[in-house]
Structure 1
Amino acid sequence: MKAVQVIVTAIAVLALTACPAHADPPTTQQITAVAVGSQGQAVNGYHETPPDGAVPAVSDCSTPSPSAVVADVYACSPSAADASTCWPSTPGSLLCVDNPWDMRLHRVAYQGQLPPVQPTASPDPFALLLDDGTRCLLRNGGSWGGRDDGFAGAYGCGKDFGSNPAVLCLPSQQSCIDRSGAAWTVKVGPLGAPDAHFPPPQTRTVSEAWFAGDRIPG
């Protein structure tokens, strides 16, 4: 009888060893992009891409970038200029980040004096890397599709950061990112016609979240 008990105990120990405990997802890395120096030049591996034609002009830079964690990082209109996260550069221009993976910046022209702006109380990252490798950029205007469950697109995760699929949230939500735990999560799903029916959004973990930091000397 004693030998049987020893064998049963050994089998139980082996079974526990073969079934590892559930591991929590890794903590979301919050990365602060420092892309422009104090002289208005690209730094830290970022580079300016030449414009396709004339440098686009922006008309209003009176609001802070929604992704800024410091003062005087700007969001400018119109949205067609892709100028939602921009740093002051040479007089009359700003450098705006395209995405952190290609480390590209593009220049926009602005007439007048830039006003001082302060970051919002709860900035939203301008870029997300999800746990399955999907890359997403914060929406900056444009006409996106819809769904019959009321979810709207907040980040474009499709080809060339298009809106399909997208990080989704309800209009009543203050943020589209659940930051209640160390590993942030988002809802991801497709968009279509306003009355299009889709399965419930999938929950994905955010591996990396990119914010806009200060300019640095050099």
Structure 2
Amino acid sequence: MSVTILIVEDEARLADILEQYLRREGYHTERAASGTRALELWRAARPALILLDLMLPGMDGLEVARRVRAESELPIIMLTARDEEVDRLVGLGIGADDYVVKPYSPREVVARVRAVLRRAQGSATVQGVLTVGDLSLDLAAFEARCKGELLDLTAAELRLLAALAREEGHVRSRTELLAALGGLERGTDERAVDAHVKNLRRKLGDCGQQLETVRGVGYRLRA
């Protein structure tokens, strides 16, 4: 059975080229030209990876990524014409696995698709479960456990914990974590991240020591 790649791109010419190169490599493709259609196909076609344009009509790529990340660890590669560092930070902060700036080589995109899929399979969570030390997150069930004991976390706390667990041992800035919480468009203050972390550390109990503060930078989760 071939691997399905969902191409989310409103420029038909670019989508045609990507589809041609991906199919040549043996991938099956689905296409969406809007964020709304992308979410519909994500649920219906169950792709292995999403190639996601940032600038889409209506719902943009960042919002699509936020909604996917709230429920799934599906690999996402963002495609954009904007090269500002803030775009890169926000894109990766909500859990994008890679980021390609236009104009790009279709061969490069295909190579990155292969690399991200290999990485996802190699570090993949068994049946959608992320494990970091004594902590485990079942993303499909939207549950977290410490030493097997179910934790009483809010949806925001689970998203925050998942964002940290995906990058085990790496420091995530408050800006990145705020993006993971979906707070950028609502004008949420970065101090909200600190409040969530404080509550999260308390609720983690014996696993709270795994959540570390890196002064002046952000937070990280360690085994």
Question: Shorter-chain TM-score category?
Answer: under 0.3
Larger RCO, structure (CA 8 Å, separation 6 or more): 1
Which has the larger strand fraction? 1
Q: Rg larger in 1 or in 2?
A: 1
Q: TM-score, normalised by structure 1?
A: 0.27
Which has the larger helix fraction? 2
